[in-house]
């Protein structure tokens, strides 16, 4: 019963965040959404912030699991960029990107939320880093690009794009279109033969030394 109640509260907190936003995510509203007594929020989690923190980790694990097989099946950087655009649309439509943006804002004044949001993003980053490491190995960029840094930059831009879209939809659209151009470039790099790979790597080494 205790485990079932905690899961109801976690799912209730996520639903409340998506449907009402952080500002209206109170113990009362979470309990009402979960269909349990309000006091159980504090009994199981101690505070609303602690519950939201655990809900953030729980939700991130669910979202990552949703896409894990699709990420593992990607065979090129171009496919990864296409997937990223489609995933952004799916997550935005579900309200999850907006929730993450709100949690990041609220985390500035809540250590519990800050740690939980970082943990949630860390799950995404770990998946992205694994995919980037695998895909970059087949390009001349292997050994020059930093998969860990790229994964973090991608996660940051994923959230930033949502915030940017709220004030400049056209600009956000152009940013997404730019990803298509990067996809075309990635396809060219991946299609180079051994001689082309060596030439690109030679140029990168010279640039790095310079």
pLDDT confidence of 74, banded at 50, 70, 90? Answer: very high
Q: Is the pLDDT of residue 143 over 70?
A: yes
Number of Cα atoms under 13 Å in the Cβ half of residue 111: 0
Mean pLDDT of 14-32: 90
Query: 32, 33, 28, 29: which is closest to 11 by C-alpha?
Result: 33
Predicted confidence at residue 40, as pLDDT, reads 95
**pLDDT band per the 50, 70, 90 thresholds, residue 7:** very high
Q: If you average pLDDT over each of 94-98, 99-103, 108-112, 122-126, which comes out highest?
A: 122-126
| pLDDT above 80 (res 138) | no
What is the per-residue DSSP string for 73-93? H--SHHHHHHHHHHHHHHHHH
Q: Reduced to 3 states, what is the DSSP secondary structure of residue 198?
A: helix
- Residue 129 binned pLDDT confidence (cut-offs 50, 70, 90): very high
pLDDT of residue 100: 80
**Mean confidence (pLDDT) of the chain:** 83
Using pLDDT thresholds of 50, 70 and 90, give the confidence band for residue 41.
very high
Task: Please state, in angstroms and as integers, the Cα–Cα distance from residue 84 to each residue in 73, 88, 89, 166, 194, following that order.
Answer: 13, 6, 9, 19, 28
For 187-196, what is each residue's pLDDT tens digit?
A: 676 666 666 6
Eight-state DSSP code of residue 108: G
Task: Evaluate if residue 60 carries a pLDDT over 60.
Answer: yes
pLDDT at position 195 is 61
More confident residue, 197 or 111: 111
Residue 1 predicted with pLDDT over 60: no
CA distance 186 to 180: 10
**Mean pLDDT of the 58-82 span:** 90
pLDDT at 156 over 90: no
More reliable by pLDDT, 15 or 182: 15
């Amino acid at each position: 019963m205790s485990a079932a109640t905690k899961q109801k509260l976690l799912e209730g907190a996520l639903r409340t965040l998506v449907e009402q936003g952080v500002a209206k995510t109170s113990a009362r509203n979470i309990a009402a959404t979960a269909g349990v007594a309000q006091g159980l929020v504090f009994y199981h989690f101690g505070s609303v912030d602690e519950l939201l923190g655990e809900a953030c980790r729980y939700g991130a694990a669910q979202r990552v699991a949703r896409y894990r097989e699709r990420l593992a099946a990607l065979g090129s950087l171009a496919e990864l960029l296409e997937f990223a655009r489609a995933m952004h649309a799916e997550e935005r439509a579900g309200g999850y990107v907006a929730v993450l943006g709100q949690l990041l804002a609220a985390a500035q004044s809540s250590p519990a939320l800050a740690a939980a949001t970082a943990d949630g993003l860390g799950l995404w980053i770990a998946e992205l880093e694994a995919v980037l490491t695998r895909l970059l190995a087949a390009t001349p960029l292997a050994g020059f690009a930093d998969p860990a840094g790229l994964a973090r930059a991608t996660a940051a831009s994923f959230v930033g794009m949502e915030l940017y879209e709220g004030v400049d939809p056209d600009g956000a659209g152009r940013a997404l279109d730019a990803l298509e151009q990067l996809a075309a470039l990635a396809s060219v790099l991946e299609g180079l033969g051994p001689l082309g790979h060596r030439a690109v790597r030679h140029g990168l080494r010279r640039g790095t030394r310079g």
